[in-house]
């Protein structure tokens, strides 16, 4: 009961924070921006309360996909809210993150998902599951930011600044957040692949060779993207293409492999 109520209240506060932020950017209003930050921070507290119930030490943790995506959303909104304390605030990028977080919470509240409980699972398996799902969540959100960068870049190149484009955060802020998400996702994807090597006894017998190859290719793309950003200052369209290519491989790795293996072949990775 308290879990669902916390989710709904946090959803409403995130939506209100996004609306206030939108109006503050259009009107260049500091009071509206402050109100948005207050709503977002209050939403984070309620969101955190709901998340803690999944990780209560007195019960078995639930690591189902929606719960972990909700955790990713919480971390991102918390990071953006905390950035207001620094000189280089990223809070304007919340105009994208807050609606996404609200959407994830609505899905978590409304869609019944079979619990994935960590009972007698080995530590290596736990690390692999958590790092895989959180990496996928962070990189998926990075993909959304990449799409917004593509939209803004498209209109800027054509000197067609609509009211929507004017209300969006500057490209520099979105790109900084995008690469922060990619870097975090890359680290977790590295942990996932490394722990997976110990977790999987036989790639061919467990039907995981395609999933592993696609994930490794995505890892290479994100690694190359981060190197290009560091070495050559990659940005704009080039960044968007590489980001979406890496995410496409990750989606194909998980959902494509799962669809072919379990639906068409009627098999499981367990052998």
Tell me the pLDDT tens digit for each residue of 60-113: 556 666 777 788 889 889 988 998 988 778 888 888 889 999 999 998 888 876
This prediction's pTM? 0.73
**pLDDT (0 to 100) of residue 148:** 83
**pLDDT (0 to 100) of residue 268:** 44
CB atoms within 10 A of CB 220: 12
Ordered alpha helix ranges (H), the chain: 2-27, 30-52, 65-82, 94-110, 123-157, 163-167, 171-199, 209-232, 237-251, 257-258
In the chain, where the domains are located = 1-75+92-111, 121-271
Q: Which residues contact 173 (CB under 8 A, 6 or more apart)?
A: 90, 92, 93
Tell me the pLDDT tens digit for each residue of 115-161: 655 555 556 677 777 788 788 878 888 888 888 888 888 887 877 76
CA torsion through residues 244, 195, 47, 94, sign: negative
Give the least confident one: 5-9, 137-141, 204-208.
Answer: 204-208
**pLDDT (0 to 100) of residue 199:** 61
Give the least confident one: 183-187, 218-222, 241-245, 263-267.
Answer: 263-267
Using CA atoms, how far apart are residues 39 and 44, in angstroms rounded to an integer? 9
Using CA atoms, how far apart are residues 13 and 19, in angstroms rounded to an integer? 10
Q: Would you state the structure tokens that stand for residue 202, as one six-digit string?
A: 């036989």
Using CA atoms, how far apart are residues 136 and 188, in angstroms rounded to an integer? 9
Tell me the pLDDT tens digit for each residue of 15-63: 999 999 999 988 888 899 999 999 999 999 999 998 888 766 445 556 6
**pLDDT (0 to 100) of residue 1:** 65
**pLDDT (0 to 100) of residue 256:** 55
């Amino acid at each position: 009961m308290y879990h669902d109520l916390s989710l709904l209240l946090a959803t409403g506060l995130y939506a209100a924070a996004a609306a206030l932020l939108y109006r503050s950017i259009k009107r260049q209003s500091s009071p509206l921006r402050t109100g948005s930050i207050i709503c977002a921070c209050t939403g984070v507290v309620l969101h955190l309360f709901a998340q803690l119930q999944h990780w209560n030490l007195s019960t078995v943790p639930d690591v189902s996909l929606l719960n972990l995506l909700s955790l990713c959303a919480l971390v991102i909104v918390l990071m953006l809210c905390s950035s207001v304390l620094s000189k280089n605030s990223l809070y304007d990028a919340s105009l994208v993150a807050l609606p996404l977080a609200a959407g994830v919470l609505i899905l978590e509240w409304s869609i019944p998902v079979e619990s994935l409980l960590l009972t007698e699972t080995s530590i290596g398996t736990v690390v692999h599951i958590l790092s895989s799902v959180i990496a996928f969540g962070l990189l998926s959100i990075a993909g959304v930011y990449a799409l917004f960068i593509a939209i803004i870049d498209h209109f800027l190149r054509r000197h067609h600044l609509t009211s929507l484009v004017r209300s969006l955060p500057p490209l520099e802020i979105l790109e900084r957040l995008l690469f922060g998400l990619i870097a975090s996702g890359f680290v977790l994807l590295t942990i996932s692949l490394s722990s997976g090597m110990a977790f999987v006894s036989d790639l061919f017998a467990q039907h995981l060779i395609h999933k592993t190859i696609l994930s490794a290719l995505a890892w290479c793309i994100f690694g190359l993207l981060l190197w290009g950003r560091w070495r050559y200052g990659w940005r704009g369209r080039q960044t968007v293409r590489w980001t979406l290519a890496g995410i496409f491989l990750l989606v194909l790795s998980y959902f494509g492999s799962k669809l072919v293996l379990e639906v068409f072949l009627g098999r499981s990775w367990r052998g």
